[in-house]
Structure 1
Amino acid sequence: MDSAKHLMVDVEAAGKNPSAALLSIGAVFFDPATGGMDESFYAPIKLSSSQYYGGDIDASTVEWWMQQSDAARAVFSDENRSSLKYVLEEFSKFIKVCAGDHDVYVWGNGPAYDNAILSHAFHKTWVKQPWSFSKDTCVRTMVMLGRELGIDPKNELPREGEHHNALDDAIHQARYVSLIWQKLFAVHQ
């Protein structure tokens, strides 16, 4: 792998827009060329704190959450929930410690979801975002490329962990992005 580090992020939120109130952040450093996983981060966030910092709560998303498993909904009452600002400061420290002087490519699901929600939250809390906007990278684009290559590990790879747990989702996404990456670059190895 080059000198850049790859970080898969997943957020759980109470809305679908970039201003959605965050419920949790999960992230894992990974090497898409090998599928290897490194350090991970998980933090649940107090919904009231996310709302305080301008996070929007969408009724249809709350109704959707009410239909999810007990394990997924546990994020709302997790005793380890912290304020949005504190979690973002800790997330920033995590990235800086793990990446050092390396560039960090931050992978998220879609140009308007994970990365956009995180960017909005960093902005609203006055915490400096620890990666450049030019390093935002899209999981959905990789899935599309994989399907063009005739593979669909997003849907075919056996799922481990809890659906809608931000860290479990980030790990699963890193696994299938790595498989697509390896297929894309197989001819160059």
Structure 2
Amino acid sequence: MNNIMVDVVTLDENNKSPLCAIEAVCFEPSTGKTGAEFYRVINIYSARGSNGRIPINTAFEWMKKDAADRAQLIEAKESEETAICEFCEFLYDNTKENHGEFFLWFKYATKKKNTLWLAFEDIDARVIRWDRIRIRDIDPLIDLAKVTGYTPHASNTNRPHTITKARYQAEQVCEIWQRLTSPYFESL
């Protein structure tokens, strides 16, 4: 599988904001199959530059979440640096067999990719060769699919990783991909 959906949650909207959670799932859009998954919730006390403090608007947003989400955030033990290093290992382990390029998918790709890249740089994380990475944004794909009558299925509220949405977003890409490829059109 050379497609990996990534979702990152940050303390605020700033690109240099510390990370709260990282989720990634490998997937193959032509078949809809998913593979290896990565998920870490980060202890905000260890996050770069947070000094254990969060912006007030973030605190209010978290208060709106359900108790399970809040508990994951409050009970997080992972340091940001460890989570980023483990994420780099996940990327390496799941792309080393693929000698060509691979695709990192994001919702709001520019913002989330920049946030993740800045976090990599801050700890001098070594990621696989950058020239092999191709960034994809699911937003234009969803917009294109809506023109064909596509409506995203509801997000599974029983999913194990409630803070992030990488698995759900990978499912959306697979649905759209299959809908916009020739087998779908042949079925019309």
If the length of structure 1 is used for normalisation, what is the TM-score? Answer: 0.83
CA contact (8 A) 2:44 2:50 kept: no
In the other structure, the counterpart of 2:70 is 73
2:171 to 170, 175, 182: 175
| Deviation, structure 1 residue 147 | 0.8
In the other structure, the counterpart of 1:140 is 139
Q: Distance in 2 between matches of 1:34 and 1:95?
A: 21
Q: Distance in 2 between matches of 1:52 and 1:19?
A: 9
Whether 2:33 is the aligned partner of 1:32: answer: no
Distance 1:55 1:112, change over 3 A: farther
CA contact (8 A) 1:9 1:106 kept: yes
In the other structure, the counterpart of 1:60 is 57
Task: Encode CA deviations 1:116-167: one digit per residue, 9 max, x unaligned.
Answer: 22111111111124463751110112111111222021xx34524167422x
Amino acid at match of 1:70: A
| Deviation, structure 1 residue 86 | 1.2
Q: Distance in 1 between matches of 2:52 and 2:178?
A: 37
Amino acid at match of 1:140: D
The residue correspondences of 1:10-29 to structure 2 (distance < 5 A) are: 10-29=7-26
Q: Distance in 2 between matches of 1:55 and 1:30?
A: 35
| Deviation, structure 1 residue 109 | 0.9
CA contact (8 A) 1:26 1:43 kept: yes
Task: Encode CA deviations 1:29-51: one digit per residue, 9 max, x unaligned.
Answer: 00011110000011111212223
Whether 2:56 is the aligned partner of 1:85: answer: no
Q: Percent identity?
A: 25
Distance 1:157 1:131, change over 3 A: farther
In the other structure, the counterpart of 1:95 is 91
C-alpha RMSD of the superposition:
2.6
In the other structure, the counterpart of 2:122 is 124
If the length of structure 2 is used for normalisation, what is the TM-score? Answer: 0.84
Number of residues paired by the alignment?
A: 181
| Deviation, structure 1 residue 115 | 1.9
| Deviation, structure 1 residue 185 | 1.6
Q: Distance in 1 between matches of 2:129 and 2:115?
A: 14
For structure 1, the 5+ residue unaligned runs are: none
**Higher radius of gyration, 1 or 2:** 2
1:115 to 93, 113, 116: 113
Distance 1:158 1:22, change over 3 A: closer
